[in-house]
Structure 1
Amino acid sequence: MSETIEMGGFGRRAFMTGTLALASAAALWPKDMRAATANRTFAAALGWTTYDSGRHLQDGFKAAVAELGGTLSMTDAGFDARVQSDQIDSLIASKPDALFITPADAVAIAPAVLRAIAAGIPVFCADSAVPGATATTTSMSNNFGMGQYSCEYICQQLKGKGKIARVMLPQNESWDQRTLGMEWTLRRYPDIKIVAEWAFALAGNVTPRQAVDNILTSNPDVDAIWCAWDGAAVEGTLAARAANRGDLILTGIDGGSQAFNYIAGNTPLKLSMAQSFYEMAYSSVFYAHEHLAGRKAPRLVVTPTYAVTSDMLQKGIPDDYDVPGRGSELGWMRAV
């Protein structure tokens, strides 16, 4: 699946978020610089475009190229590493000035990423690092810190004592760091015990909903479930409702309108570590332009994450919280 977009106007999300995105971009990239970059060609090999995370990443790439200059071709692998590797090879053949990648399975696509680098194409990764491949810039969240913070929230809510379960996401090294952060926090809480766990597999037959159903059946007295991503937390909330466990505490990681609506609706989902997917994508495009202009680009950009609870959603559900500067306008403080 692919699309080529002539970015003469604005992406859908940039248009919807209005003057904030444009004002931020104008400050970062003056008009005379944008004029000099109009003929640059970019390609994006996206691991997925579904869910709020994929939509925000896609919107960030589109809006940044629209504002900063150039044309953009995009492919969507639908979480299939083999498909994404083939798409990367196809994009290499088109010889773009820079290649943007959001890896769903970073280890599996590493050889294709190395082929892009060997072909002299600068690579910019968003959301996850690709092990063994030296990308020019990787923009991502502090995954270890998000795992720490969300587990600390549960431990505080349980006052340091209780039974918890966890739903893990070991699909790539970056996402697995969340579980390691969660384990680090638990070292300070010896009276909180993990009584059940399940690791999600993209090729598996068990859904997060089924996994949480099983956890609640076998552990009816569990107090909380730590989830490595919001999709599992949302499905876990549905399982909690079906089990009449309104007292259960669930946390997730990702952010976006779906999770925010559950949090605001007084459900068992109490916290989402809301990542700045839009900013990851936007900064990738920005630093691609910087690199191509012969200026320095950072090897690693750690984008903001907000610990979103119901009190932060009293005035509505913001879909644009991860546009650069919007979090501050909302009065949100980055957690990690």
Structure 2
Amino acid sequence: MTEFHDNSPEAAGLRLSRRGFLSGAAALTVAAALARPNFAFAQDAQFCASLGWTVWESGRHIVAGYEDAVKKLGGTLTIADANYDVKKQADQIAAFVASKPAAIFITPADAAAIAPAVQAAVASGIPIFCGDSYVPNTTVTSTAMSNNFGLGAYGAQYIVDRLKGKGKVALVSLPSNESWDQRTLGAKSVFLRNPDIQVVSEIAFALGGTTTPRQVVDNILTANPDLNAIWCAWDGAASEGTLAIKASGRDVFITGIDGGQQSFEYIQAGSPFALTLAQSFYEMAYMNAFYAHEVIAGRKAPRFVITPSYAVTQESLANIEIPDTYDQPGEAAKIGWNRAL
């Protein structure tokens, strides 16, 4: 049952890095364990999940990953949604610690800000599993997340290649979460090595503020009449930026990070939205729950699992239905997608 409370770019281009291998090995471990008869899982364990958000497609996939894993592997699950409120999430974590569950799952909206709450949770002795972001200055049991630096570098390299090494670029960054900020650092590492790429604007977006991503991109376009491309730290900005570019009639393309139906529809239609790096949110959550069961059973969990990300363009979406389950283990291969990171 589920209860809802509070409602180097070179590395980025590798098909199979060491971390990628570890993630693939982890997925194979899951598959092998589930196929093994009489493989014991904790049927009566109580799990709690404090999620930084459940909105957007990423949130929906995260919730589904936790729910499906607990339904399949056993136990009960209580989910609390912090809705990007740091204090609320810290309070949720403290309340969950007091309830003494078998494990706590955490998707941080602001990992640095909730670090003290996570430190206290770790100190309680309860196994703690993080998804989407690592929490600085803590030693949780396991973290499943994307290669955020690589995601940023990959999108930037795509822009450099498409512009043939010369052009004017703007960035819409998302520094509120340390892991999300790594994407911007990855992008800058690429642009800095290409001196004929001019970064003419960078706007740091604040979630929960009064300015929308659409307004940010409108302002960038107005201030930079010779702009060629916009790199965005997440798909919300890329999607709204697509609308701004179309309204302007400008020949500008835009890239994002996250993946999901809306992004895929824009890309498939040949809009200015040219590339997204689609993350495996479902698999992040599922891996957390799977390894929680492993730890309860006295087995080991990997400290880090780097879940797959896929470079999605109009070409990779040609002649297929928009996929919604690509981030479930094994599903991307069925549509011919190979992990980019």
Report if TM-score (shorter chain) is over 0.5: yes
Aligned length, in residue pairs: 316
Task: Please name the residue that 1:106 is paired with.
Answer: 111
Q: Does 1:218 align with 2:223?
A: yes
Task: Please name the residue that 1:227 is paired with.
Answer: 232
Q: Does 1:32 align with 2:31?
A: no
Q: 64-73 or 197-206: which moved more?
A: 197-206
Q: Give 1:137's match in structure 2, choosing from 125, 136, 142.
A: 142
* 8 Å Cα contact 1:4-1:72 kept in structure 2: no
Query: Within 1, Cα distance between the matches of 2:336 and 2:73?
Result: 27
Q: Give 1:299's match in structure 2, choosing from 296, 303, 312.
A: 303
Q: Does 1:3 align with 2:8?
A: no
Query: Within 2, Cα distance between the matches of 1:220 and 1:240?
Result: 12
CA displacement 1:6-44 (0-9 Å, x = unmatched): xxxxxxxxxxxxxxxxx996643245235x411111100
Task: Please name the residue that 2:68 is paired with.
Answer: 63
Q: Give 1:256's match in structure 2, choosing from 257, 260, 266.
A: 260
* 8 Å Cα contact 2:30-2:290 kept in structure 1: no
Report how far residue 329 of structure 1 moved.
1.4
Q: Give 2:49's match in structure 1, choosing from 37, 41, 44.
A: 44
Query: Within 2, Cα distance between the matches of 1:132 and 1:26?
Result: 32
Report how far residue 305 of structure 1 moved.
0.4
Q: Give 2:207's match in structure 1, choosing from 199, 202, 207.
A: 202
Q: Output aligned runs, 1:268-307, within 5 Å.
A: 268-307=272-311
* 8 Å Cα contact 1:208-1:232 kept in structure 2: yes
CA displacement 1:20-77 (0-9 Å, x = unmatched): xxx996643245235x411111100000001111110110000011111111110001
Query: Within 1, Cα distance between the matches of 2:150 and 2:115?
Result: 25
SS at match of 2:171: strand
* 8 Å Cα contact 1:124-1:136 kept in structure 2: yes
Output the amino acid matched with 2:39.
M
Report how far residue 3 of structure 1 moved.
2.0
SS at match of 1:156: helix
* 8 Å Cα contact 1:24-1:325 kept in structure 2: no
Greater relative contact order, per chain length (Cα 8 Å cut-off, separation 6+): 2
SS at match of 1:108: coil
Output the amino acid matched with 1:300.
F
* 8 Å Cα contact 1:52-1:256 kept in structure 2: yes
SS at match of 1:151: helix
Output the amino acid matched with 2:334.
E
Q: 110-119 or 270-279: which moved more?
A: 110-119
Query: Within 2, Cα distance between the matches of 1:173 and 1:270?
Result: 26
Q: Give 2:96's match in structure 1, choosing from 91, 98, 103.
A: 91
Q: Does 1:72 align with 2:77?
A: yes
Query: Within 2, Cα distance between the matches of 1:191 and 1:327?
Result: 36
Task: Please name the residue that 2:21 is paired with.
Answer: none
Query: Within 2, Cα distance between the matches of 1:50 and 1:213?
Result: 24
* 8 Å Cα contact 1:128-1:140 kept in structure 2: yes
Q: Does 1:266 align with 2:264?
A: no
Output the amino acid matched with 2:127.
P
Output the amino acid matched with 2:285.
A
Report how far residue 273 of structure 1 moved.
0.2
* 8 Å Cα contact 2:57-2:260 kept in structure 1: yes
Query: Within 2, Cα distance between the matches of 1:272 and 1:26?
Result: 28
Q: Give 1:81's match in structure 2, choosing from 79, 86, 109.
A: 86
Task: Please name the residue that 2:154 is paired with.
Answer: 149
SS at match of 1:297: coil
SS at match of 1:39: coil
* 8 Å Cα contact 2:150-2:183 kept in structure 1: yes
**Quick one: structure 1 residues 24 and 319, their matched pair in 2 at CA, closer, same or farther if it must change by over 3 Å?**
farther
**Quick one: structure 1 residues 132 and 285, their matched pair in 2 at CA, closer, same or farther if it must change by over 3 Å?**
same
Output the amino acid matched with 1:38.
Q
Task: Please name the residue that 2:312 is paired with.
Answer: 308
Q: Give 1:329's match in structure 2, choosing from 322, 326, 334.
A: 334
| Identity in percent | 58
Report how far residue 301 of structure 1 moved.
0.4
Query: Within 1, Cα distance between the matches of 2:152 and 2:223?
Result: 25
Q: Give 1:184's match in structure 2, choosing from 167, 186, 189.
A: 189
Q: Give 1:169's match in structure 2, choosing from 162, 170, 174.
A: 174
Query: Within 2, Cα distance between the matches of 1:25 and 1:299?
Result: 16
Report how far residue 221 of structure 1 moved.
1.3
Structure 1 gap ranges (5+)? 6-22
Output the amino acid matched with 2:121.
A
